[in-house]
Amino acid sequence: MNIQVLTLFPEVIDSYVNTSIIKRAREKNIVSIESINFRDYADNKHHSVDDTPFGGGAGMVLTPQPVVSALENLDYKNKKVIYLTPKGKTLNQDLASSLSKEPDLILLCGHYEGLDQRVIDHYVDLEVSIGDYVLSGGELGALVMIDAITRLIPGTLTEDSLAEESFSNYLLEYPQYTRPREFEGHAVPDVLLSGNHKNIELYRITESIKLTLSRRKDLIAEGIENKYFSDRIIKLIKQVKKNLL
């Protein structure tokens, strides 16, 4: 997959995508990520990219020309253009999963009061938000999307770690422990030290179900609605609800 990020702050994007799992995915050529400063496409002497809003009001609006020139330079017609904005469709695991199958994404980051509506209307395919709060610009949204998408592309993670993750199966992940066996008087659950893999698996699924029922009942309801759970998991959910486990 190729991801191109149009931003006034490319260094913000570059710093995070040169770290950890995304860095490794780039090195393995699973994903290419390029940040582009659309200020470089401003055709005025001062490389200015914003102006006051027609009709008045606070703040500045990004002018269409630099953004559109940058998009044209990127052959945007053959790519999915996404604008990061609090007005967009809220990112979730399903949206990340469907976007992870796109060959080419262009992520457009606004700043100030955002983009001129004509750019959104005529150049943007999808508007995405990362949650119900307002950020100063789209860069954090773009990075959140890049992270969520990259880890879903085959080869980035091992099959096992992907399957075990929260949300990938409508259940929050079970708790993890490592050495030492006892820390500040708190012991690791005995079952994890038992070496009995069937019991460990049952303990983990049960803990996942308990945690999800207490924190995110909506995920369980969604998993049931999408007929995601096996008969065994459904039975365990019922038992946990009845306090039998």
Binding residues for ligand 6GU (CB under 6 A):
84-86, 129-131, 133-135, 137-138, 141
Beta strands in the chain (DSSP E): 2-7, 32-37, 50-51, 61-62, 80-90, 104-109, 126-129, 182-183, 186-187
Burial of 9 (0-12, 13-18, 19+ CB in 10 A): middle
CB of 135 to ligand 6GU, least distance (A): 4
Q: Which is nearer to ligand 6GU, 59 or 131 (CB)?
A: 131
Tokens 């995508």 belong to residue? 17
The smaller minimum CB distance to ligand 6GU, of residues 6 and 209, is found at 6
Q: How far is the CB of 138 from ligand 6GU (least distance, A)?
A: 5
Closest residue to ligand 6GU in the complex (CB): 141
> Which residue's CB is nearer to ligand 6GU, number 57 or number 180?
57
- Give min distance, CB of 31 to ligand 6GU, in A: 20
For 183, phi and psi rounded to 5 degrees? -135, 120
Q: Least distance (Å) from ligand 6GU to the CB of residue 140?
A: 7
Q: Are 39 and 45 in contact (CB under 8 A)?
A: no
Of 216, 211, 206, 203, residue with least CA distance to 238? 206
Instruction: Please say which residue, 53 or 86, places its beta carbon nearer to ligand 6GU.
Output: 86
